Amino acid sequence: MLTFLSLLQSCSLFGISYESSRSEIMRILEIEKAVSDEIRKLAEEKFGIRLEKISCEAPPRIELGDLALPVAFEIAKQIKQKTGEKKNPRDIAETLKSSLSGNSVVERIETAGAGYLNIFYNRAEILAYFADAPLLSEATKPHQKVCVEHTSVNPNKAAHIGHVRNAVLGDTFARLLKAVGKRVEVQNYIDNTGVQVADTVVGFVYLEKMNLQSIIHLDESLAKEGKSFDYYCWDLYSKVGKAYESDENLKEKRQIVLHLIERGGNEVAEIADYVAMRNVQCLLETMEKINIRYDLLPRESEILHLGFWQKAFEEMKSRGVIRYETEGKRAGCWVMPLDSHEGTEEHDADKILVRSNGTVTYTGKDIAYQMWKLGLLGLDFNYRVFHTYADGKKVWVTSTSSSENGVIPEFGKSEIVYNVIDSRQSYPQEVVKRSIAAIFPEKGEQSSIHLAYEMVALSSAAAEELGFQISEEDRKKPFIEMSGRKGLGVKANDLINLLESKALVEVEKRHADISKAECLKIARKIAVGALRYLLLKYTRNTIVVFDFKEALSFEGETGVFCQYSAVRANAIFKKLAKDELKTAIEIVKANRPEVNEILKTENEIWSLLMQAFRLEEIVHNSVNNREPAILAKYCFNLAKTFNLFYHNHRIITESNQIRRAVLIVTADIVRRTLTSSLDLMGIPVPERM
RNA sequence: GCUCCCGUAGCUCAGAGGAUAGAGCGACCGCCUCCUAAGCGGUAGGUCAUUGGUUCGAGUCCAAUCGGGAGCACCA
């Protein structure tokens, strides 16, 4: 349970200031803090109990109040622990109730149930405040720099929906971190010298018998046919995978290619570089379609060639945190001892960082990279611009040659690093984290966070729709794992295109009056909403079983539903006179007793408002739990409540001026909240739907 | 063998030790002259895997068991 105290602690961590520029306390989190502080004081005065955490929750029904505190139970428990005396929580709640002075926005306090303390706000005061205040407060203190690494697709083929889950989670989390005041740097690691790139190069060189010139030529002719290079590589990679099964000779070629790539200065290395960076270009285009961008593309080649590993290796040796094995089966290896993991006969707890042949493992390189991200390595990359987005924003890539002239942003040096990586890599991520803590005890483990998530798999129906033969054994399984090597997977671009064309049909069906180009613009936004929400609504540790029918649905719990609700809210304001909102805000501020009367009778309107006011709290919850799904669920529920409000209240025809003003301000607050929740998920709101 | 994750409605999933366990889909019944159908309302559907324990209070925490998944490389 997230307590209010921990929320506060995290808030101060995020640099949020509770000092409002206005004198009154109005933000929901501020009110909760003020109430909690007073209760903490009372608990000490009246019962001699020091309360660490005071949980604040929403009552199950709005009739019970706006804020519920089960604090009397906690006090009763602590009294019993301290003195053995059994006190009735109801009596404690009564004592608290009669002693609480509250503040300007607390209208009434009641005790309920077995000992709840329920607080009712002065509804008109809060509405008047939020009528023209931002739903998310802006951070004022200096920002802490953090890094989010996500996407990190092997640059040897097109991205599939599993990669998109990673990217959408990472991108949304980065947006959330920005919303709580962090300075966020987004990195997309490019493993351009790894086995997978080597495999695709094996395909080009040994299966297709191509050289660099012919690959470039092929790339150009693909472009003319409207085909993309990464799709070609997708097919080629699976062809290589298949060929390996029967051709041992070819498998040996992989090692040769890998060595040539690592050594550099030869045609195979040039081919690898071309293939990898062309795939990266394709990936950036795909991700841009769903509003995902990067600041920096750190490449493995630079980690190798700029001596990152050597530097990290020296650091580890001088700090005495790694060990050289002189005997046993790991003789000749450098290992990182990891004591708390129990080793077994077959598996050692210690992690090998340098093989007996002197080469460094992936985890070793990862530790060096992580050190750089945290500003602990004492070395830096060189940089050049890789790509410039339409609005001028630049993506940088690491480079071995000296950096280009001009202003280069400061990369790395983050206080906290979030690595968005598949939970199947939990073990190596644990090794990286513990290694960092071993090398830099002052940094500890808290600075390296593995944002783990489960894979996206396919339903057997989906696999069959992709044209794959499913064995009887596989059909019995709840899902089928995607496999790049087998070419089994739903490619990101295919799904985006499918969503766009379905959305286009729906838009045209509804709006015969708008141009095709305009319809397409709307359809693209709908596709983004559908895809991103689909991948965000499941919590990170749930395996997403991809199904075409579900993915292509625009009804029910979908991003499209949320977008539709926001569009509906906007539609109201298109029909209203230009300054009606301004007038409504003035009316709401000037007629508080009447407004309060309306909000006290209309629980449905008030509970919608309370739900909207909770955005800030939800954003903090999502960050603290590192769970973007919390935001997604919130957004959907708010959209649902709003739809009911929309259904039940007609603003245009409302003749009572004060009531009309309340409805207008409510609709405005909700549309602002919906728009910013969607924006935090990277989902745009179309003009019409 | 060891470690981690999961088991909640027919299906897919939410559920922060607190009040009567929720949503979407599917099923059934209603609602388009509207800022209103990508929508809204209603009905049916639950031994929260099992058994113990902690607690004023357990779907939630602890232990054991059963069932499912993932990981435990001189792969990445």
Average pLDDT of chain A is 91
Q: Where along chain A do its domains lie?
A: 4-121, 190-292
Q: What's the number of CA atoms in the CB half-sphere (13 Å) around residue A74? A: 20
A153 within 8 A of A237, measured Cβ to Cβ:
no
What DSSP string describes A347-397? S-SSEEEE-TTSPBPHHHHHHHHHHHHTT-SS---EEEEEEE-TTS-EEEE
How much is the pLDDT for A24? Answer: 62
The integer distance in angstroms from the CA atom of A300 to the C1' atom of B18 is: 51
Phi and psi (nearest 5°) for A630?
Answer: -60, -45
Vertex A646 angle, CA A107 and A653, to 5°: 95
Over residues A388-422, the pLDDT tens digits come to 999 999 999 999 887 777 889 999 999 999 999 99
Q: Give A80 or A234, the one with higher predicted confidence.
A: A234
Chain-centroid distance of CA A230 in Å reads 25
Whether residue A645 has pLDDT greater than 50 = yes
Vertex A325 angle, CA A324 and A331, to 5°: 130
Residue in the structure block whose two tokens are 């007073």: A38
**CA–C1' nearest nucleotide, residue A561:** B38
Vertex A237 angle, CA A231 and A240, to 5°: 145
Query: Measured between alpha carbons, how far is A178 from A680 in angstroms, rounded to an integer?
Result: 9
How much is the pLDDT for A10? Answer: 34
Structure-token pair, residue A657: 């001026």
From A47, A128, A53, select the one nearest A93 (Cα to Cα).
Answer: A47
What DSSP string describes A177-235? HHHTT-EEEEE--B-TTSHHHHHHHHIIIIIS---HHHHHHHHHHHHHTT--HHHHHHH
Q: Which helix (H) or strand (E) holds A630?
A: helix A628-648
Q: What is the mean pLDDT of residues A366-375?
A: 97
Q: Give A26 or A558, the one with higher predicted confidence.
A: A558
A92 within 8 A of A70, measured Cβ to Cβ:
no
**Fold exhibited by the domain A4-121:** Gyrase A; domain 2 (3.30.1360)
The integer distance in angstroms from the CA atom of A1 to the C1' atom of B18 is: 11
Q: What is the mean pLDDT of residues A463-473?
A: 89
The integer distance in angstroms from the CA atom of A3 to the C1' atom of B16 is: 8
Phi and psi (nearest 5°) for A288?
Answer: -60, -35
* Sequence-separated (6 or more) residues with CB below 8 Å from residue A229: A219, A222, A223, A278, A279, A282
Residue in the structure block whose two tokens are 């559908």: A530
**CA–C1' nearest nucleotide, residue A523:** B38
Q: Which helix (H) or strand (E) holds A145?
A: strand A145-149
What DSSP string describes A605-625? HHHHHHHHHTHHHHHHHHHHT
Model confidence band, residue A86 (pLDDT cutoffs 50, 70, 90): confident
Least confident among A92-106, A328-342, A554-568, A652-666: A328-342
Q: Are strands A456-458 and A544-546 parallel, antiparallel or unpaired?
A: parallel
Query: Measured between alpha carbons, how far is A340 from A401 in angstroms, rounded to an integer?
Result: 42
Whether residue A14 has pLDDT greater than 60 = no
Over residues A415-450, the pLDDT tens digits come to 999 999 999 999 999 999 999 999 999 999 999 999
User: What ipTM was predicted for this assembly?
Assistant: 0.97
The integer distance in angstroms from the CA atom of A311 to the C1' atom of B74 is: 21
The integer distance in angstroms from the CA atom of A688 to the C1' atom of B36 is: 14
**CA–C1' nearest nucleotide, residue A360:** B74
Q: Which amino acid is at A99?
A: S
**CA–C1' nearest nucleotide, residue A113:** B19
β strands within A515-609, DSSP E: 544-546
Query: Measured between alpha carbons, how far is A65 from A28 in angstroms, rounded to an integer?
Result: 14
Protein-proximal positions, strand B, CB < 7 A: 1-6, 12-20, 22-26, 34-36, 38-41, 55-57, 68-76
SS3 A466: coil
What DSSP string describes A290-324? TT---SEE-BHHHHHHTTHHHHHHHHHHHTT-SEE
**CA–C1' nearest nucleotide, residue A69:** B18
Q: What is the mean pLDDT of residues A512-540?
A: 97
The integer distance in angstroms from the CA atom of A548 to the C1' atom of B26 is: 16
The integer distance in angstroms from the CA atom of A415 to the C1' atom of B35 is: 49
A450 within 8 A of A426, measured Cβ to Cβ:
yes
* Sequence-separated (6 or more) residues with CB below 8 Å from residue A448: A370, A374, A417, A419, A432, A433, A436, A437
Radius of gyration of chain A measured on its C-alpha atoms: 29
Model confidence band, residue A339 (pLDDT cutoffs 50, 70, 90): low
What DSSP string describes A241-277? HHHHHH-HHHHHHHHHHHHHHHH-SSHHHHHHHHHHH
The integer distance in angstroms from the CA atom of A511 to the C1' atom of B71 is: 51
The residue lying closest to nucleotide B17, measuring its CA against C1', is A1
Model confidence band, residue A344 (pLDDT cutoffs 50, 70, 90): very low
- For chain A, percent of residues with pLDDT exceeding 70: 95
Structure-token pair, residue A397: 């890539």
Rounded alpha-carbon distances, angstroms, from residue A480 to A234, A347, A458, A542, A556:
19, 28, 5, 15, 26
Whether residue A13 has pLDDT greater than 70 = no
How much is the pLDDT for A348? Answer: 61
Model confidence band, residue A113 (pLDDT cutoffs 50, 70, 90): confident
Q: Please give the span between the terminal C-alpha atoms of chain A, in angstroms, as a whole number.
A: 39
How much is the pLDDT for A5? Answer: 33
How much is the pLDDT for A73? Answer: 92
* DSSP category for residue A341: S
Whether residue A17 has pLDDT greater than 80 = no
β strands within A63-112, DSSP E: 67-69, 106-112
Over residues A240-274, the pLDDT tens digits come to 999 999 999 999 999 999 999 998 999 999 999 99
Over residues A26-83, the pLDDT tens digits come to 789 889 989 999 999 999 999 998 888 888 999 989 999 999 999 999 999 888 888 8
A646 within 8 A of A586, measured Cβ to Cβ:
no
* DSSP category for residue A540: T
Query: Measured between alpha carbons, how far is A435 from A412 in angstroms, rounded to an integer?
Result: 18
Query: Measured between alpha carbons, how far is A158 from A491 in angstroms, rounded to an integer?
Result: 7
What DSSP string describes A493-513? HHHHHHHHHHHHHHHHHH-TT
Over residues A258-315, the pLDDT tens digits come to 999 998 999 999 999 999 999 999 999 999 999 999 999 999 999 999 999 999 999 9
How much is the pLDDT for A1? Answer: 32
**CA–C1' nearest nucleotide, residue A477:** B68
**CA–C1' nearest nucleotide, residue A639:** B39
Q: Which amino acid is at A40?
A: R
Whether residue A676 has pLDDT greater than 80 = yes
How much is the pLDDT for A196? Answer: 96
Residues in chain A: 689
Q: Which helix (H) or strand (E) holds A480?
A: strand A480-481
The integer distance in angstroms from the CA atom of A195 to the C1' atom of B76 is: 8
Least confident among A6-15, A112-121, A469-478: A6-15
How much is the pLDDT for A545? Answer: 96
Whether residue A2 has pLDDT greater than 80 = no
